[in-house]
């Protein structure tokens, strides 16, 4: 950040106009850099944008080949003498003229059409001689239906509860463990730390069944606690925070001790505020882990009122019928909170991960 | 007021004993300075008193109560660290108030005390700033302020001035002396800088390798060192200490060190044939005429400071000899100088370094 302050040209415009070549000329590395960056953006954002666009398509439009980029819908017109609006087509007539006609009904391969401007005149057009007239139209139903009918708001709420509570619990107990392992010097401290890190090597598949048994015997199945508690103590978190706390000068802890601070006060008022960069990093990690967690919630949550978003999404995937339009729409909903977290905390991510933090 | 007593205090890290049994009494209101070379255990001893280090055996007694098992937070002492150890995330005000908040003091009382201390240390304008925004000297004052507001039973200073530049150090030294005069608490101060020790202390404790070499007032240590270590450590520049052999002379004994022979009257504990050493401070040597000289040396380097002159002289077979004279001396480098030794300031040590005489009649 000090760099930014030092170079006044580092505004958005300054950045965009920046050239490696001298005197504002474009060097070949400028071209290369922009191409490379553009490729990177395409690679990373392409799928997300495609997903967002697709989430506004109707289920039939999704199955169309070749696919369209924008969500499109067929235009319907109100024609005099007909109760319902009629779909609009561009038809090539026998004499070769092209006209926009509304379809009244379709019989076999022949479509009976009418000119909206002149409802009295009727045409018979083979269906391969007409194409739909479409406009940009977003299928908001993809969002409305799951959120209203399928109780997706409930899943959203569950996911938020799990993520927030689990992250708070994780931060609290991991930082307390890290405090113990960083601030106190006792016999076996290194061994305990190795043991904690060693648990990183055990894959979740191995502990899945034992943990499930424990959770069952504690009667937590189908409650959100079954998702929150088992993963609350993470070796990664303890390690991350502990290593950071080791960099806090010992003098500060001793000064606090001389200042009559209780151990809790030292932890809460001195060490935690100073470990904020590391805490922020762990918070971001924890939020991402919890939000995206699928396997464990799928195992312990069997009733739809306790589903999290990820499990809820899975419910759209039937054995025979996959409701892609709902899955895509709800995936977008699922992405929003993580994106927001990243947007607001990304300063901490970069400073925290690169953390020399404070001196 | 607070008296602190150490009795037979020993401290070992695993197998390695670093404090070998220290007995010490610090009286109420006294400014006591621990001084010694690096690694002599002075900081460890201070931390033992603070309660930040446990002791292996012995006892620490504050006002008659043994506090061995009482944690640092309960001992009622305040400490100023070498690194200042200010809480970087708190404002200056919060830094000073932190200790008081921990003892559940009413808010108005805290405010009064912090503002009074800030006034005393000229920190009033900085109370809302973070430590990062302060200069070294100001941070030091905050650290002292944090100690003062607590009204502790005693103040402990762990090399508080060693991170400051030379000029600021002199200023802060004076401020500390003033502070002690005005609040008058018991203070224990650790330093390796003997100028700080000499100027601040009521009582100096010289430590070496985990043992007390001597305890006394600054001038007592300067004039009557109990052994060669204290003699060499106190005083700047260092005392010249030369190994010598005792021979019989016309009017008593002669100390012979290389080409130099110093006639002295008989001294208790010194017999012809003994090995010993003698010490003479640079300021107790004089440049004289060759016929009255105790030794002839060649001047290797002369430092003319205007008000005073330092000569660094070499004599074959002896370590470099420093001479300090007031005023300006016209001695140039490479020139021969005749030096005389003030017998009344001559220190004689036996072969184990213990003092036999501090000054002999001439």
Best residue in A2, A183, A260 for a mutation probing chain B (most B CBs within 10 Å): A260
Nearest-CA residue of chain B relative to A250? B85
Following CA atoms B32, B33, B39, B43 in sequence, which dihedral angle do they give, to the nearest 10 degrees?
A: 50
Residue B218 to residue B195: CA distance in whole angstroms = 10
Please report which helix (H) or strand (E) contains residue A289, including its range: helix A276-292
The number of residues making up chain B comes to: 362
For chain B, list the domains and their CATH numbers. 4-232 (3.40.50.300), 237-358 (2.40.50.140)
pLDDT at residue A164 greater than cutoff 70: yes
The mean pLDDT value for A108-132 works out to: 79
Partner residue opposite B98 with nearest CB, options A254, A259, A274: A259
A168 touches chain B (CB under 8 A): no
Residues A189 and A289 grouped into a single domain:
yes
Residues of chain B with pLDDT under 50: none
CA triplet B170, B172, B177: central angle to 5 degrees? Answer: 100
Question: Which of A190, A142, A70 lies closest to A327, judged by CA?
Answer: A142
Straight-line distance from the first to the last Cα atom of chain A, in angstroms, rounded to the nearest whole number = 14
Share of chain A above pLDDT 90, in %: 24
If asked whether residues A148 and A255 sit together in one domain, one would say yes
Whole-number pLDDT of residue B129: 92
Q: What's the CA gap between B18 and B39, in Å, rounded?
A: 9
Average pLDDT over chain B reads 90
From A136, A160, A175, the end of a domain falls on A136
Say yes or no for a CB contact (<8 Å) between A260 and B99.
yes
Can you give the three-state secondary structure of A2-46, one letter per residue?
HHHHHCCCCCHHHHHHCCCCHHHCCCHHHHHHHHHHHHHHHHHHH
Residues 326-355 of B with CB under 8 A from A: none
Coarse DSSP helix, strand, coil percentages of chain B, rounded to the nearest 5 percent: 30, 35, 35
CA dihedral A64, A67, A69, A71 (to 10 degrees): 0
Cα–chain center distance at A262: 42
Q: Are residues A282 and A147 in the same domain?
A: yes
pLDDT at B215: 94
Last residue of a domain, one of A136, A158, A192: A136
Nearest to A358 among B81, B86, B88 (CB): B88
Residues of B in contact with A257 (CB under 8 A): 52, 71-73
**Residues of chain A found within 8 Å of residue B89, distances taken between Cβ atoms:** 273-274
Of residues B137, B203, B131, B126, the one with CA closest to residue B175? B137
Lookup: tokens for A293: 């967690």
Q: What is the DSSP string of A163-184?
A: HHHHHHHHHHHHHHHHHHHHH-
The β-bridge partners of B299 are B313
- Say if CB A123 and CB A61 are below 8 A apart: no
- Do both A108 and A153 map to the same domain? no
Nearest CA in chain B to A252: B85
Grade residue A349 by pLDDT with cuts at 50, 70 and 90. Answer: low
Same-domain pairing of A304 and A215: yes
**Closest among A178, A200, A17, A259 to B99, alpha carbons compared:** A259
CB A237 within 8 A of CB A244: no
Tokens for A305, please give them.
């009122």
B13 touches chain A (CB under 8 A): no
A278 CB near a chain B CB, below 8 Å?
no
- In a domain, residue A14? The reply is yes
* Domains in chain A, number: 3
**DSSP tag of B15:** T
Residue B238: phi, psi to the nearest 5?
A: -60, 155
- Tell me, yes or no, whether A331 lies in a domain: yes
The residue out of A93, A119, A136 marking a domain boundary is A136
Q: Which of A135-139, A200-204, A217-221, B36-40 shows the lowest per-residue confidence on average (mean pLDDT)?
A: A135-139
Residue (of A248, A255, A246, A173) closest to B102 by Cα position = A255
Comparing A129-143, A288-302, B238-252, the range with the smallest average pLDDT is A129-143
Q: Chain A within 8 Å of B98 (Cβ-Cβ)?
A: yes
Does pLDDT of A4 surpass 60? no
A255 to B79: CB separation less than 8 angstroms, yes or no: yes
| Burial call B232-264: b when 16+ CB within 10 Å, e when fewer | bbbbeeebbbbebebeebeeebbbebeebebeb
d(CA B41, CA B205): 12
Q: What is the pLDDT of residues A33-88, one digit of tens each?
A: 899 999 999 999 999 998 888 888 887 778 877 888 888 877 777 877 778 887 88
Q: Mean of the pLDDT values across residues A311-333? A: 82
CA dihedral over B249, B254, B257, B260, signed as positive or negative: negative
Bridge partners for B155 per DSSP: B78, B187
Residues in B closer than 8 angstroms to A247, CB to CB, are none
Is A260 in contact with B52 (Cβ distance < 8 A)? no
How many CB atoms within 10 Å of residue A294?
13
Check CB contact of B72 with chain A, cutoff 8 Å.
yes
Asked if residue A98 lies in contact with residue A74, where contact means CB atoms within 8 angstroms, the answer is no
Let me know: does B24 contact B212? Beta carbons within 8 Å: yes
Say yes or no for a CB contact (<8 Å) between A257 and B89.
no
Whether A59 is covered by a domain: the verdict is: no
Interchain CB contact of A269 with B (< 8 Å):
yes
Q: Is B237 helix (H, G, I), strand (E, B) or coil?
A: coil
Nearest to A261 among B73, B81, B82 (CB): B73
Q: How far does CA B330 lie from the centroid of its chain?
A: 34
H helix or E strand, kind and range, residue B9: strand B4-13
Residue A60 lies in a domain: no
Q: Are residues A231 and A314 in the same domain?
A: yes
Instruction: Tell me what the mean pLDDT of segment A137-153 comes to.
Output: 80
Q: How far is CA A296 from CA A15, A309, A321, A336, B44, in A?
A: 45, 13, 24, 22, 52
Residue A58 lies in a domain: no
Q: How far is CA A354 from CA A117, A308, B69, in A?
A: 68, 33, 42
- Verify that A170 and A258 share a domain, yes or no: yes
Cα–Cα distance for residue pair A231/A286, rounded to 1 Å: 10
- pLDDT tens by residue, B214-237: 999 999 999 999 999 999 999 888
Interhelix angle B136-149/B92-102, rounded to 10 degrees, is 20
Which candidate from B52, B79, B85 shows the least CB-CB separation from A252? B85
Are residues A188 and A209 located together in one domain of the fold? yes
Q: Could you tell me the two tokens for B318?
A: 């002896």
CA distance B137 to B167: 10
Question: Are A255 and B85 a contacting pair at CB < 8 A?
Answer: yes
| Residues with Cβ within 8 Å of residue B129, at least 6 apart in sequence | B91, B92
Q: Do A258 and B103 touch (CB under 8 A)?
A: no
Work out the average pLDDT over A270-281.
89
CATH number, residue A240: 1.10.3720.10
Q: How high is the ipTM of this complex? A: 0.83
What's the pLDDT at A352? Answer: 59
CB pairs under 8 A between A and B: 60
- Compute φ and ψ for B4, nearest 5 degrees: -120, 130
HSE of B172, CA atoms in CB hemisphere, 13 A? 22
B310 vs A: CB within 8 A: no
Co-location of A221 and A321 in the same domain? yes
Render the burial of A49-73: b for 16+ CB within 10 Å, e for the rest.
Answer: eeebbbbbbbeebbeeeeeeeebbb
Q: Choose the weakest-confidence range: A86-90, A224-228, A239-243, A349-353.
A: A349-353
In a domain, A251, yes or no: yes
The 10 Å Cβ neighbour count of residue B72 is 21
Q: Does B81 touch chain A (CB under 8 A)?
A: yes
A314-to-A11, A292, A341 alpha-carbon distances in Å: 44, 13, 24
pLDDT given at position A217: 93
- Does residue A42 sit in the same domain as residue A78? no
Question: What pLDDT does residue B98 have?
Answer: 93
Which of B72, B82, B87 has its CB closest to that of A257?
B72
Residues of B within 8 A of A269 (CB-CB) are 98
pTM of structure? 0.78
What's phi and psi for B45, nearest 5 deg? Answer: -65, -40
- Domain presence at residue A283: yes
A148, A131: one domain: no
**Going by C-beta distance under 8 Å and a sequence separation of 6 or more, which residues neighbour residue A342?**
A284, A349
Same domain membership, residue A84 and residue A187: no
Domain that holds residue A259: 143-353
Q: How confident is the model at residue A9 (pLDDT cuts 50, 70, 90)?
A: low
Among candidates B78, B84, B185, B90, which has minimal Cα distance to B138? Answer: B84
A280: in domain: yes
């Amino acid at each position: 950040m000090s760099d930014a302050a030092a170079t006044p040209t580092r505004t958005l415009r300054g950045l965009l106009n920046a050239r490696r070549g001298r005197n504002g000329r474009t060097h070949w590395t400028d071209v290369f850099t922009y191409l490379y960056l553009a490729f990177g953006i395409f690679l990373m954002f392409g799928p997300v944008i495609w997903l967002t666009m697709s989430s506004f398509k109707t289920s039939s439009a999704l199955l169309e080949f070749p696919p369209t980029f924008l969500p499109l819908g067929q235009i319907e017109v109100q024609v005099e003498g007909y109760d319902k609006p009629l779909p609009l087509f561009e038809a090539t007539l026998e004499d070769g003229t092209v006209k926009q006609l509304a379809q009244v009904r379709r019989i076999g391969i022949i479509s009976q059409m009418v000119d909206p401007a002149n409802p009295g005149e009727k045409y018979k057009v083979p269906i391969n001689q007409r194409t739909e007239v479409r406009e940009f139209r977003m299928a908001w139903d993809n969002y409305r239906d799951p959120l209203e009918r399928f109780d997706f708001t409930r899943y959203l709420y569950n996911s938020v509860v799990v993520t927030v509570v689990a992250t708070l619990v994780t931060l609290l107990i991991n930082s307390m463990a890290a405090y113990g392992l960083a601030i106190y010097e006792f016999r076996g401290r290194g061994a305990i730390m190795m043991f904690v890190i060693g648990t990183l090597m055990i894959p979740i598949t191995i502990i899945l069944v034992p943990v499930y048994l424990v959770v069952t015997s504690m009667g937590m199945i189908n409650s959100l606690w079954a998702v929150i508690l088992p993963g609350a103590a993470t070796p990664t978190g303890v390690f991350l925070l502990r290593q950071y706390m080791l960099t806090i000068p010992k003098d500060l802890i001793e000064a606090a001790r001389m200042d009559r601070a209780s151990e809790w006060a030292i932890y809460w008022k001195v060490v935690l505020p100073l470990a904020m960069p590391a805490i922020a990093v762990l918070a971001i990690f924890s939020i991402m882990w919890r939000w995206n967690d699928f396997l464990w919630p799928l195992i312990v949550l069997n009733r739809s009122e306790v589903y999290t978003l990820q499990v809820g999404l899975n419910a759209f995937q039937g054995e025979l019928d996959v409701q892609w339009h709902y899955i895509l729409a709800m995936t977008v909903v699922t992405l929003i909170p993580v994106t927001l977290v990243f947007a607001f905390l990304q300063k901490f991510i970069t400073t925290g991960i690169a953390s020399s933090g404070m001196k | 007021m607070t008296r602190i007593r150490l009795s037979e205090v020993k401290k070992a890290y695993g197998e390695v004993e670093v404090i070998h049994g220290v007995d010490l009494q610090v009286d109420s209101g006294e400014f006591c300075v621990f001084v010694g070379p690096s690694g002599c255990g002075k900081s460890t001893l201070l931390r033992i008193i603070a309660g930040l280090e446990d002791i292996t055996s012995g006892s620490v007694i504050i006002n008659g109560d043994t506090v061995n098992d009482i944690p640092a937070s309960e001992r009622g002492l305040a400490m100023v660290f070498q690194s200042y150890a200010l809480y970087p995330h708190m404002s200056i005000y919060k830094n000073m108030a932190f200790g008081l908040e921990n003892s559940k003091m009413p808010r108005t009382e805290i405010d009064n005390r912090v503002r009074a201390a800030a006034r005393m240390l000229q920190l009033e304008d900085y109370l809302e700033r973070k430590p990062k925004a302060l200069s070294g000297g100001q941070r030091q004052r905050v650290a002292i302020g944090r100690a003062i507001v607590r009204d502790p039973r005693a103040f402990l200073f762990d090399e508080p001035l060693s991170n400051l530049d030379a000029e600021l150090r002199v200023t802060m030294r004076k401020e500390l002396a003033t502070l002690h005069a005005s609040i008058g608490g018991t203070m224990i101060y650790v330093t390796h800088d003997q100028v700080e020790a000499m100027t601040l202390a009521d009582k100096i404790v010289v430590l070496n390798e985990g043992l007390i070499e001597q305890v006394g007032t600054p001038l007592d240590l300067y004039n009557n060192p109990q052994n060669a270590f204290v003699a060499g450590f106190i005083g700047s520049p260092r005392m010249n200490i030369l190994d010598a052999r005792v021979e019989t002379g016309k009017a008593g004994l002669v100390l012979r060190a290389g080409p130099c022979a110093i006639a002295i009257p008989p001294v208790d504990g010194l017999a012809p044939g003994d090995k010993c050493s003698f010490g003479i401070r640079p300021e107790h040597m004089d440049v004289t005429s060759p016929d009255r000289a105790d030794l002839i040396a060649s001047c290797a380097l002369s430092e003319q400071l205007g008000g005073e002159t330092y000569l660094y002289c070499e004599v074959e077979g002896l370590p470099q000899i420093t001479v300090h004279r007031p005023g300006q001396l016209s001695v140039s480098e490479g020139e021969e100088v005749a030096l005389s030794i003030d017998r009344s300031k001559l220190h004689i040590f036996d072969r184990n370094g213990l003092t036999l005489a501090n000054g002999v009649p001439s």
